[in-house]
Structures are given as structure tokens and as C-alpha cells.
Amino acid sequence: MKPNTKFATPVLVVLSLLVFAFNPVQENKNTAPPDPLPSWNAGTSKKAIIDFVTKTTSKDSKDFIPVADRIACFDNDGTLWSEQPMYFQLAFAIDQVKAMAPQHPEWKTTQPFQALLEDDIHTALAGGEKAIGQILMTTHAGMTTDVFEKTVKDWMKTATHPKTKKHYNEMIYQPMVELLKYLRLNGYKTFIVSGGGVDFMRPWVEQAYGIPPDQVVGSSGKVKYESANGKPVLIKLPEINFIDDKEGKPVGIHQYIGKRPVFTAGNSDGDYAMLEWTSTAGGYPRFGMIVHHTDAEREWAYDRASHIGKLEKGLDDAPKYNWLVVDMKNDWKKIYAFDKMK
């Protein structure tokens, strides 16, 4: 049968137009796809991340990971936002002590509160973990969860960092925000696994990182349910429930997430156990990342000798476990969104 060419030609024209319209990927055949990590400089770090995501999400790859198992865990302090000159949660607690001081005249003569009120942080924290515990319990307990949430939100809107003069939630790392988004676009479920307080993080991390409250694992105090007159509340008690740090991190991952991650990022030896827990799991390829603070100019430079964010064992064992050590100074075009591109 002779083909009806009069009919076939326009059909092909329309079909090709429609293929064009319905396949935007083919439309830009000669244009590179947009860079998923624009704040990362080209180099081995960026390449390692993209290679891992590509090979674990390509259907025909031997390293393919089903969506249900694409679990990615991120430390917060020093990994997603800054932690100098002190953990931002401690800055919050100190501001709360000052705000609460009028109701506590006894603090004028009681340490560590007296020193805090005199802006003598050094003396206040000389008492070590005990002093910090007192400050945290005083400012993080004895109120309802609703009141605490509002207090955190209000502080985030008003308080500013002594060095940058920016709000604390502006001091999140733009390259890491891009990495979180890139992972999610590729079917990864992103979690925070932080030593910080979960009630301190949840009010702002969804907006900052796109991570919803139920995907935030952190340290916590006990809470108590009290119901009177149909107005139930949860009261924050001055009692530790869980410390999500060091060996507590794999424990937290088990208790709250229930699956071993395939991608984990941290910055200090407090993250060593969860990186180890990730990298030794087998089955799938696993990715461990350490954010190395190497930029004294745009952020801070510290590792082995630092009191906050000490990183020693992690650096020593990074080659053994093939952990990617990200060099903030050279790998990142900018640290914060408000930075100019390097």
C-alpha cells in the first residue's frame, strides 16, 4: 500500500512539536542542566557528591538505592550553621537568663547567673558542664512547650550575632542548604541529628533548611502531660531525656529514624560514631562527609585544638573510611547566603 504522504507529513510535524513541548529536557539539548550546587567550587569535593548521588539514583546502576532507603543525616552545629564563639543555643540561653533576671533577684549573687548578668561569660562558664547544665535547665524548663517555642521564635527574629550582626538563622551555610535540597530532589529524606536541643531547633529549621520537625533528632528534656479543664499542656521538666551526641547519635538514629543512613555529614568528633555507624553498614554504598573549618576570614578556622567542635579522630580516620573532608575555604564559593561570591 502506498503511504498517504499528504497525511503523514503534517502528523510528523505535529508530533515533533508535541515531543518538543512535552520533553523540556530534550528542548535544551545543547544547554548544560542547571548546577545543583552553585555555591560549591568545581573540584573533587563537589564531584564526589554529585557522583554519589548520580550512581545511587540511576535505575540501571549497580549502586542504585531504593527511595525508601535514601536516608541522609546531618549534624547541625558547625555542619549546617556556625557554632562560634559559642553554640548559638547557649547564646539564646544567656539572653533568656538576662530576660528572666528581674524575676530572680537572687541571681545577682548566685553563680553562674551573676557572672552572666555582668557579661562575664568566661567566669560563668568556668563551672564547665555543670554551669552550662544549670543555665540550660533554668532557661529550657518550667514552662509549657508552646511558650518555649514562642520564646525561641521571638529570639530568632531579634537577636544578632556579635561578629556578623546577622540573625542567627541567617548564619546557615548556603552550600549545605543547596546540598540538602539537591539530595531531596533526588529522593533522599534529609534528617538533622544534632547534639543541640530538639525543642530549640524545631521552631526554625523547617524554614531554614526545608527539614520538617519530625525529621529533627536532637537532645531533649523530659516533658509531662497535664490536663485541666480541657486545656492540656506539656510542661518541660528540668530533667534530661536524651543526649544526642557522640555514641548517642547512632542511638538517636535508631530510636527516631529506625534505619541506617546512607549519607551522613558532621564536623566534629561528636559526629564520629554516626559517621562510623553509616560507613560500616554495608549493603549499599555509603557517604560520609566532614565539614572542615578552614576559613578564618569568612567563618572560623579550628579543628584538633578547639574546645568547640574539636575534630581529631575524624580527621585521622577520614582516609580509612573514605570520608570526604570538605575544605570550607577552598570548596565553598560563599559561606552564608549574605556573602558575596568568592
Binding site for a copy of itself (CB under 8 A): 6-7, 10-11, 14-15, 18, 22, 68, 71, 145, 189, 191, 198, 202, 206, 212-216, 220, 223-225, 227, 230-232, 234, 241, 247-248, 250-251, 254-259, 273, 276-277, 280
CB nearer to a copy of itself: give 128 or 282.
282
Smallest separation (angstroms) from a copy of itself to the CB of 54: 24
Nearest one of 247, 229, 235, 195 to 80, comparing CA atoms: 195
CB nearer to a copy of itself: give 256 or 284.
256
Smallest separation (angstroms) from a copy of itself to the CB of 218: 10
CB nearer to a copy of itself: give 37 or 217.
217
Smallest separation (angstroms) from a copy of itself to the CB of 150: 14
CB nearer to a copy of itself: give 216 or 265.
216
Integer Cα distance of 49 and 315 in angstroms:
19
Where does the chain have alpha helices with state H? 5-22, 24-27, 44-57, 88-100, 113-117, 121-124, 128-140, 145-158, 174-185, 198-209, 248-252, 272-279, 313-321, 328-331
Nearest one of 324, 193, 184 to 270, comparing CA atoms: 193
Smallest separation (angstroms) from a copy of itself to the CB of 76: 15
* 301-302 and 216-226 beta bridge pairing: unpaired
Helices 88-100 + 145-158 axis angle, to 10: 110
Integer Cα distance of 67 and 189 in angstroms:
8
The vertex-332 CA angle with 271 and 87, nearest 5°, equals 40
Nearest one of 311, 77, 322 to 205, comparing CA atoms: 77
Smallest separation (angstroms) from a copy of itself to the CB of 191: 7
Smallest separation (angstroms) from a copy of itself to the CB of 328: 28
Nearest one of 170, 144, 142, 146 to 156, comparing CA atoms: 170
CB nearer to a copy of itself: give 251 or 315.
251
CB nearer to a copy of itself: give 61 or 241.
241
CB nearer to a copy of itself: give 189 or 292.
189
Integer Cα distance of 180 and 174 in angstroms:
10
CB nearer to a copy of itself: give 22 or 130.
22
Smallest separation (angstroms) from a copy of itself to the CB of 122: 34
Smallest separation (angstroms) from a copy of itself to the CB of 68: 6
